[in-house]
Chain A
Amino acid sequence: MKPAIDLRAGLVFDAFGLGLPVRIATAVVAAVTVYAAAQGTSMSTLGTINAVCLWACVALSVNLVIGICGQMNLANTAFMGFGAYAGVLSTGFWHWPAWITLTVAALVAGVAAWMLSAAIFRSKGLVFAVLTTAISLVAYSVMVNWSSVTGGLGGISTGGPLEDGGLPGALDLALVKINEPMEYLVLLLTMTAALSVGTSILLRRKTGRSWLAVREDEVLAASLGIDVPREKRRAFVAASMLGTSIGLVYAHMVAFITPDSFTFAHAAFAPLVMIMIGGSGTAVGPIIGASIVIGVPEALRAYELEGLGTLIYGCLLLFVVLVAPTGVAGGLQSLARRAVAHRRAGPAQPSTQGEPAAAEAKTPTV
């Protein structure tokens, strides 16, 4: 008799959804399609696509802590900003190759996140959320006030001191040097696909499942033997290191950063919104969310309806929260699961139809 859940990893389907080869193939096909579609477009559309991919990466990294592990971490500004400023200073002023800075900055961020998590995770829920918000706001204040290093509100450029009028520096990654928007597109598509597939793999492994358990009910997870503080710390460190790296890439892509690129609204709240709209805790949701949050205002601006952009953003957000809190990906998954449940259950087994409906609310798969 066929067991209720088949834990073997199948080629097309596995116990959680689509199998790994299918997922990788989908990611590659999607990336190639976007690349091909971007060939004929204008530079400004290419810029928007690059921005969407970059923020999709940010959302995917923040998703680890907020979406999967369920901790309201709003401190992303600090890490992304750190990576960005380190990147600009190293390429524009100290003339280090970017890959060295990337490694060093990510390690520093990891250590800092590790030490920070010992202190901050003693607080929970709302307190934790406000605490991480405070961290973000203090980081912003440092970026503004430490102007001898960061250039303050005037900003700094990867081309060196602004008065010299230099051209932006390339992102030197040892094997490749990335300078043109099309090259950034390839890099960003690779990063997005990797992070997305990585998240889907994580969701199937013990670490990912234990993070989901922590999200659902910390006390219950602890009683099951999950080391809750350790898992939270791992999620936080992973997200912070990724955030720093992505921040460095972002700084090279835009070539000129100011602290206002890293306000709370931009770098901490917006990724949260992307996750929420797209589908929290899923591997594809953050990408969908980033497309909507970045793409819609740009489209409105192109059609000269800028004034409405923020209002539409707010209304959309409220709508999603009230009506569809699992986001786009979550909604699609519920539909898919309901269809599969109907197919598997057949006409004579009412009990199995009840379970998926109950379990579908929170557990994600792709």
Chain B
Amino acid sequence: MDGLLQQIANGAVLASAYILVAVGLYLIFSVLDIPNFAHGEMFTVGAFTQYALVVQLGVPFWPSLAAAAATAAALGVLLERTVFLRLRAKQANLVAFLIAGLAVGIILQELLRSVFGTDALAVPAPIEGLVTLGPVRMSMYRIVVIAVSLVSVAALGWLVYRSTFGTRLRALALNRDLAALSGINVSGVGTGAFAIGSGLAGLAGGLLSATSSLTPYIGFHPTLVSFVILIMVGAGARLATVLAGGVVMALVESLTAGYIGNSMREAAVFVLLIVFLVWRPHGLTRGADAQPARL
């Protein structure tokens, strides 16, 4: 039982990362209808910005974290303007989005590699110390990571469901044309969503940089897991469902690694997806609109 609780605690930090990245992707996809296959690279960019600021320039940790999220957000907006909106305007199909996203990913990875090299890098955590909660041991910093993620998601939830901007976001997600007709600045709100989504991924990268190590290639797995969550959750899901999805994925990975075998941990998520989709081909929830085949 002790081991199980510890395994769950281990999974909690992973869940925080997955939730932040998946929610970001969910925001972008549901508001803008863009499957951003370069989303995981925002995570990587956030992590490397954190490294550059903290380790190379000596900036304190928490301001760097804000800068990392902002950098990822800015990069996201840049990508939206130069790549994704162009594709959307040409009514490009899924293949084009997939290839464009992965191509952007490759370019970003190579640029990071040429600047930072290929050796794994580490960022020192800002808080030392361990905490023992019964049979569970965690480092103080990792608890802070969970806390920061929860606060961020709560803030996002408030933004999406309680603020004016959030209303506009949800209007855009429901029906873009109607939203435009109602006078909403569709382009501005869309860019805002992209910025927030990318910023969340960058925040996750910056947070995790101090409890893991960095290479330019750490973004691919978060991209995949986010898409798996997005698909399993389905087209019409609420934010809370995405959260639950992130938790489930992280737990599946951790428990597989702990009890079945560490080498199976990545495959476990995908086996889960395959089994799930055979049972429910359209995901957990369906969109309220008349075309369930939208995804």
A residues near B, CB below 8 A? Answer: 66, 70, 72, 119-120, 122-127, 129-131, 133-135, 137-138, 141-142, 144-145, 269, 272-273, 276, 280, 307, 310-311, 313-315, 317-318, 321-322, 325
Contacts and interface: CB of A to CB of B under 8 A. Distances in A.
B98 A137 contact: no
11 contacts: A72-B94, A125-B295, A127-B277, A131-B274, A133-B224, A134-B228, A142-B267, A272-B95, A317-B102, A318-B104, A325-B96
A72 B106 contact: no
Nearest to B261: A145
A120 B275 CA distance: 10
B266 A141 contact: yes
B159 interface: no
Given A145-B263, A325-B92, A134 B273 contact: yes
Interface string B92-122: 1111101110111111011100100000000
Nearest to B273: A134
Given A126-B231, A137-B270, A313-B106, A325 B263 contact: no
Contact of A315 (B83, B107, B273): B107
Contact of A317 (B92, B99, B261): B99
Interface of B is mostly: helix
A322 B100 contact: yes
Q: 3 closest Cβ contacts across the A-B interface?
A: A314-B106, A141-B267, A122-B281
B190 interface: no
Contacts of B282: 123, 127
Contact of B87 (A280, A310, A321): A321
A137 B266 contact: yes
A122 B87 CA distance: 27
Contact of B100 (A120, A142, A280, A318): A318
Contacts of A133: 224, 270
Interface of B: 35, 83, 86-87, 90, 92-96, 98-100, 102-107, 109-111, 114, 224, 227-228, 231, 261, 263-264, 266-267, 270-271, 273-274, 277-278, 281-283, 293, 295
A109 B278 CA distance: 19
Given A123-B281, A124-B295, A137 B267 contact: yes
Contacts of B266: 137, 141
A91 to B, nearest CB: 28
B35 A272 contact: no
A124 B102 CA distance: 20
A322 B86 contact: yes
Given A130-B228, A307-B114, A310-B110, A318 B103 contact: yes
Contacts of A131: 231, 273-274, 277
A54 B191 CA distance: 43
B295 A126 contact: yes
Given A138-B270, A141-B266, A318-B103, 18 more contacts: A72-B94, A119-B278, A123-B281, A130-B224, A131-B231, A131-B274, A135-B270, A137-B267, A276-B96, A310-B106, A311-B110, A314-B107, A317-B99, A317-B102, A317-B103, A317-B106, A321-B99, A321-B100
A261 to B, nearest CB: 18
A325 B95 CA distance: 10
B107 A322 contact: no
A311 B281 CA distance: 37
Contacts of A325: 90, 92, 96
